[in-house]
């Protein structure tokens, strides 16, 4: 975070960063760069990484599939398609920086994410249980469909709106401001504690469904609660950053290698690793290719695609 605050087109020394935070002889230029441009971007990157990392751990726990991820399963694409529709129909009527427009976007994302999850579940449910292999294949297909739909809708937009939508679909937090952070806070404050409280249930889900029912667990009810909370987190993240994939895939695997299989330990580590992945990727996207700025989603995909292929080969073995 400190390195991101210091580096950029306008270089700021460590002492100047400290002066700005503690209000000791800080200059207006430094305040503007830190508080209006860099700090909101860092906070959003951290919040998005936290949400996607935890959501990935929940979805992998529910499906008992180490290759599951909100992006790969199409939930990101469903939420993104709903928000592109929102942009298409309401962007011209609402100011994109208006608080109402920003606060309502996660609700559209939730509707799209739920629609994607419902379709995927409908095709993956066989003989009274969820088939992990069908879930993965169906998710990839549905995600591709929603992605194509988003692109089709964005092509119907005006040139300026199309450019913004395309960058956003790729996964970008360049347009970060404090209103976007405010739109995420209620979702994180409400949903993350629910997931942490249900962490023991993710441990139980590693057993077979027959064993769970014999223990008196309401399997479908608990799955629905955890799935809804994780989709809510993903929707809030997609609403402010676009479709950033692979964070929810990589974070749980790294966390399990560090702290074992207890989800009370995995969840906070997943959130921390997710924050770190998005922050580092955003720093690379912003500085390494300057003056050109890559969408952060592309940088994470460069890391995530080889990792996904490695996991796929390992799973086959």
Structure tokens belonging to residue 240: 């402010």
Phi first, then psi, for residue 130 (nearest 5°) are -90, 125
The pLDDT of 36-47, averaged and rounded, is 93
Q: What integer pLDDT is reported at residue 161 of this predicted model?
A: 75
Decide: 180 and 40 in contact? Cβ < 8 Å: yes
Q: Check residue 126 and report its DSSP letter.
A: E
**In contact, 314 and 291? CB cutoff 8 Å:** no
Closest CA to 172 of 293, 276, 82: 293
For the entire predicted model, the pTM comes to: 0.91
Q: How confident is the model at residue 94 (pLDDT cuts 50, 70, 90)?
A: low
- 122-138 average pLDDT score: 77
- Residue 94 lies in domain: 2-316
User: In which element (H, E) is residue 237 found?
Assistant: helix 219-241
| Average pLDDT, integer, range 244-269 | 92
The CATH number covering residue 146 comes to 1.10.3470.10
Closest CA to 64 of 142, 117, 130, 140: 130
Q: What's the average model confidence in pLDDT over 13-21?
A: 91
pLDDT above 80 for 272: yes
Mean pLDDT of 18-29: 88
Highest mean pLDDT out of 13-17, 153-157, 173-177: 13-17
User: Cβ distance 44 to 177 under 8 Å?
Assistant: no
* Packing angle of the helix pair 296-316, 247-259 (nearest 10 deg): 60
The C-alpha R_g of the chain, in whole angstroms, comes to: 20
- CA distances 173 to 37, 58, 130, 264, Å, are 11, 24, 35, 30
> Residue 64 pLDDT more than 80?
yes
The average confidence (pLDDT) of the chain is 87
What is the band of 51 on the pLDDT scale with cuts at 50, 70, 90?
Answer: very high
Mean pLDDT of 66-87: 87
- Overall number of domains in the chain: 1
Of 227-236, 242-251, 288-297, which gets the smallest average pLDDT? 288-297
CA–CA separation, 150 vs 161, rounded Å? Answer: 13
Where do the DSSP E strands lie in 83-241?
125-126, 129-130
Closest to 168 in 3D by CA, of 85, 249, 246: 85
Give me the pLDDT at residue 317, please: 54
């Amino acid at each position: 975070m400190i390195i991101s605050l210091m580096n950029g087109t306008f270089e700021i020394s460590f002492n100047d960063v400290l002066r700005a935070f503690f209000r000791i002889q800080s200059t207006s230029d430094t305040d503007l760069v830190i508080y209006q441009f860099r700090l909101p971007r860092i906070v959003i990157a951290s919040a998005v990484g936290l949400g996607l990392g935890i959501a990935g751990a929940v979805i992998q726990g529910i499906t008992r599939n180490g290759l599951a991820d909100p992006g790969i399963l199409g939930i990101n694409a469903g939420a993104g398609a709903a928000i592109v529709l929102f942009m298409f129909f309401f962007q011209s009527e609402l100011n994109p920086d208006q608080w109402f427009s920003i606060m309502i976007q996660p609700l559209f994302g939730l509707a799209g994410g739920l629609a994607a999850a419902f379709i995927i579940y409908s095709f993956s449910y066989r003989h009274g249980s969820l088939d992990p292999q069908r879930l993965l294949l169906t998710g990839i297909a549905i995600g591709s469909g929603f992605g194509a739909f988003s692109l089709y809708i964005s092509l119907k937009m005006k040139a300026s709106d199309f450019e913004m939508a395309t960058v956003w679909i790729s996964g970008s937090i360049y347009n970060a401001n404090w209103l976007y952070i405010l739109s995420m806070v209620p979702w994180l404050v409400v949903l993350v504690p629910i997931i942490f409280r249900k962490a023991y249930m993710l441990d139980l889900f590693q057993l077979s469904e027959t064993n769970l029912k014999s223990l008196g667990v309401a399997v479908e009810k608990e799955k629905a609660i955890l799935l809804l909370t994780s989709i809510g987190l993903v929707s809030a993240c997609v609403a402010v950053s676009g479709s950033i994939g692979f964070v929810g895939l990589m974070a749980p695997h790294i966390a399990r290698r560090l702290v074992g299989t207890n989800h009370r330990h995995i969840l906070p580590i997943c959130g921390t690793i997710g924050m770190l992945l998005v922050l580092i990727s955003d720093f690379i996207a912003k500085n390494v290719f300057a003056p050109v700025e890559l969408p952060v989603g592309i940088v994470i995909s460069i890391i995530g695609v080889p990792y996904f292929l490695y996991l796929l080969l390992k799973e086959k073995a």
